[in-house]
Amino acid sequence: MQSTSEANQRIARIAAHLHPPNFQMMEGNSSIGKMNCRAKGAAPGFKVAILGAAGGIGQPLSMLMKMNPLVSVLHLYDVVNTPGVTADISHMDTGAVVRGFLGKDKLDEALTGMDLVIIPAGVPRKPGMTRDDLFKINAGIVKTLCEGIARSCPRAIVNLISNPVNSTVPIAAEVFKQAGMYDPKRLLGVTMLDVVRANTFVAEVLGLDPREVDVPVVGGHAGVTILPLLSQVKPPCSFTPEEINYLTDRIQNGGTEVVEAKAGAGSATLSMAYAAVKFADACLRGLRGDAGVIECSFVTELPFFATKVRLGRSGAEEIFPLGPLNEYERAGLEKAKKELAMSIDKGVSFTRK
Ligand SMILES: NC(=O)c1ccc[n+]([C@@H]2O[C@H](COP(=O)([O-])OP(=O)(O)OC[C@H]3O[C@@H](n4cnc5c(N)ncnc54)[C@H](O)[C@@H]3O)[C@@H](O)[C@H]2O)c1
Ligand SMILES: O=C(O)C[C@H](O)C(=O)O
């Protein structure tokens, strides 16, 4: 049997190994200490940065991206709490090397060399607010972060999550135009959560597995601008007028449903992280050269409209037309266009002030 002093010595040896006196959490890189470890180089794959990585979306998104086999390097940037999130995520035994970056001074370092930048930075809604009420704070945040992208990784694909998406994507486009590196294929507003919700709610009504359902959702990402095309659901099906009203209303107000249920504690974070990873993974498969990667996204060529796009090596390489719409959808489209035009103007004029 081991004596108490032998056991104590063993524990002391293990503790010394875990926390050698020269191990330090280095600022901007919490995953690699000064310990002389035989670190393996990063596996082949893509370099991804998450801006706003310590937030409600940022944390589960960082975790899910660390699990993505297409990611070799994962940079986590925020203005608060990145050391803790980075230390935590970096202990996961998956391939991606994780590095944390805290504060504005580290933005350029966090972005240098990135293939894909995902932006969930910014304040979320509270009950009673619209997404547009977030404009005042989030417009400035998105502008600053996009200026960093223009300086440090102008060829990266950008997935923009921060609300109001209908205005923040136009802000990003203007910043990139002013910097002379705008490529509409590479700037993608994330509307995947609308598709994820639409698939779920439609599957509930039809009594199907949501994984078998594909609902195109076009337009934008706020209220009536969210336009589910229920006439184009796969597998082909039909709905009663009551079902169409119920589904359209629930899909358009899915975000508000979560904001109210969270009662002041923010908006969708977990389903959003899931949707963001689903979309980011599609972008990475496109970058890798996979054929037939098609998703809905808010793109800037139409100008500014969410629609089905084919993702490839240079981003959104093909933008698909909306296809045949029924009368209900045509009326919805007119409403969506009116509101979208105002949100787009608001974003564009913000950057020209
Ligand atoms: N596109 C969508 O479908 C969708 C879905 C859900 C939420 N959202 C939006 O995503 C945004 C984030 O939501 P959340 O719940 O994660 O909010 P949150 O407040 O929990 O997290 C936001 C994070 O952004 C960080 N941040 C603030 N300013 C920053 C800056 N200048 N640089 C880097 N990071 C900064 C904060 O420190 C925080 O960690 C909100 O605007 C929300 O409305 C969009
Ligand atoms: O509704 C929100 O404010 C967050 C997000 O846009 C959502 O759709 O859940």
Tens-digit pLDDT profile for residues 58-109:
999 999 999 999 999 999 999 999 999 999 999 999 999 999 999 999 999 9
- For residues 211 and 92, membership in a common domain is answered with no
Distance 115 CA to ligand 2 centre (A): 26
Please tell me whether residues 183 and 259 are part of one structural domain.
Answer: no
For residue 2, being part of any structural domain is answered with no
Has residue 28 been placed in a domain? no
Q: Give the pLDDT mean for 13-23.
A: 33
Question: ipTM of the predicted structure?
Answer: 0.99
Q: From the CA of 303, how far away is ligand 2's center (Å)?
A: 22
306: left (phi over 0), alpha (psi -120 to 50) or beta: beta
Could you tell me the residue range of the domain that residue 320 belongs to? 191-352
Q: How far apart are CA 110 and CA 117, in angstroms?
A: 10
Q: Using the 3D structure, point to which of 171, 190, 209 is the last residue of a domain.
A: 190
- 122 phi and psi, to 5 degrees? 135, 170
Considering the domain architecture, whether residues 262 and 326 belong to the same structural domain is answered as yes
- Residue 272 CA to ligand 1 centre (angstroms): 11
Mean pLDDT of 323-335: 97
For the question of residue 91 being annotated catalytic, the response is: no
What pLDDT digit, counting tens, does each position of 136-183 carry?
Answer: 999 999 999 999 999 999 999 999 999 999 999 999 999 999 999 999
Write the CATH number for 134.
Answer: 3.40.50.720
On whether both 250 and 299 belong to a single domain, the answer is yes
Q: How far apart are CA 253 and CA 74, in angstroms?
A: 33
Same domain, 145 and 222: no
Q: Closest by alpha carbon to 34, among 43, 26, 42? A: 26
| Binding site per annotation, positions for NAD(+) | 52-58, 78, 138, 161-163, 272
Please identify, by atom number, the ligand 2 atom nearest to the C-alpha of residue 131: 3
Residues 114 and 159 in one domain: yes
Residue 23 domain-assigned (yes or no): no
Q: Does one domain contain both 183 and 207?
A: no
Residue 105 lies in a domain: yes
pLDDT digit string, tens, across residues 215-224: 999 999 999 9
Mark which of 166, 190, 214 sits at the end of a domain.
190
Residue 20 lies in a domain: no
Q: State the CATH number of the domain containing residue 300.
A: 3.90.110.10
Quick check: is 235 in a domain? Answer: yes
Residues 317, 175 within the same domain: no
pLDDT, average across residues 32-55: 76
Mean pLDDT of the chain: 91
Which residues, including other chains, have CB under 8 Å from residue 148's CB and lie 6 or more apart? Answer: 107, 108, 111
Domain edge (last residue) among 163, 190, 217: 190
Neighbours of 242 (CB within 10 A): 8
Give pLDDT tens digits for 277-319. Answer: 999 999 999 999 999 999 999 998 878 999 999 999 999 999 9
Residue 223 sits in the same domain as residue 270: yes
Indicate if 174 and 202 belong to the same structural domain: no
* pLDDT level of residue 39 (50, 70, 90 thresholds): low
The residue type at 81: N
- Please state, in angstroms and rounded to a whole number, the distance separating the CA atoms of residues 284 and 227: 26
Is 290 inside a domain boundary?
yes
> What's the rounded mean pLDDT across residues 191-211?
98
Closest C-alpha residue for ligand 2 atom 2: 255
Q: What domain count does the chain have?
A: 2
Tell me which of 17, 19, 75, 221 is the catalytic residue. Answer: 221
Query: Does residue 280 lie within any of the structural domains?
Result: yes
Do both 149 and 101 map to the same domain? yes
Tokens of 52: 């706003």
* pTM of the predicted protein model: 0.92
Q: Residue 267: which of 160, 119, 129 has the closest Cα?
A: 129
Do 111 and 226 lie in one domain? The reply is no
